[in-house]
């Protein structure tokens, strides 16, 4: 065992961090267990996590990542930047919600009541299970809280969707 530390960067998801540490998603569950985190508890800027570098089976990928300063960052998480926000703007911490499909046939149109109760924000990220969805794979109505999956995406029975959004910024 060769335990090493990795500092998460702003904008990363756990998927991004696993790709930067192990270079493959094969050890995603091990990483989550070792760091006592879940897919809906997103990393924060400079959060320290551990990984077992002895399990790296593709040194080429690791060398490529390290030697070229590659940082996987899909930018879909609710991480708080390490830099201070401008004094004139105040933004609340990004809220998160989960939705689990209850229709045995699957679901495409979902209503997240928490989004509708705070209209005017923007979706930061939608994650289906452990996979972040690209913005082209969903449409969100921030007034009604309705998220429509696009491009053949279906939330299967008992599958969970994780949604992170921002509240409107207010000027002080």
Distance CA 134, CA 128 (A): 10
Instruction: Give residue 148's pLDDT.
Output: 94
Distance CA 159, CA 31 (A): 21
**pTM for the whole thing?**
0.45
Average pLDDT estimate for 115-136: 78
Instruction: Give residue 71's pLDDT.
Output: 64
The pLDDT confidence band at residue 42, using thresholds 50, 70 and 90, is confident
Distance CA 99, CA 61 (A): 35
Domain boundaries, the chain: 3-67, 89-171
Instruction: Give residue 160's pLDDT.
Output: 84
CA neighbours within 13 Å on the CB side: how many for 23? 16
Query: pLDDT tens-digit profile of 81-96?
Result: 443 334 333 334 567 7
Closest CA relative to residue 55, chosen from 1, 126, 123, 98: 1
């Amino acid at each position: 065992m060769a335990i090493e530390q990795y500092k998460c960067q702003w904008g990363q998801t756990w998927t991004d961090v696993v790709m930067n540490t192990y270079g493959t998603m094969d050890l995603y569950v091990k990483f989550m267990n070792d760091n006592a985190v879940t897919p809906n508890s997103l990393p924060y800027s400079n959060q320290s996590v551990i990984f077992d570098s002895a399990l790296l089976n593709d040194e080429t990928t690791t060398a490529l990542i390290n030697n070229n300063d590659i940082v996987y960052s899909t930018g879909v998480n609710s991480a708080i930047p390490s830099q201070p926000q401008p004094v004139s703007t105040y933004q609340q911490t990004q809220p998160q919600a989960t939705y689990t499909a209850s229709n045995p046939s699957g679901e495409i149109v979902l209503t997240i009541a928490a989004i509708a109760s705070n209209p005017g924000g923007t979706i930061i990220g939608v994650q289906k299970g452990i996979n972040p969805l690209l913005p082209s794979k969903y449409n969100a109505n921030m007034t009604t809280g309705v998220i429509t999956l696009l491009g053949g995406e279906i939330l299967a029975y008992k599958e969970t969707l994780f949604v992170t959004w921002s509240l409107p910024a207010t000027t002080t």
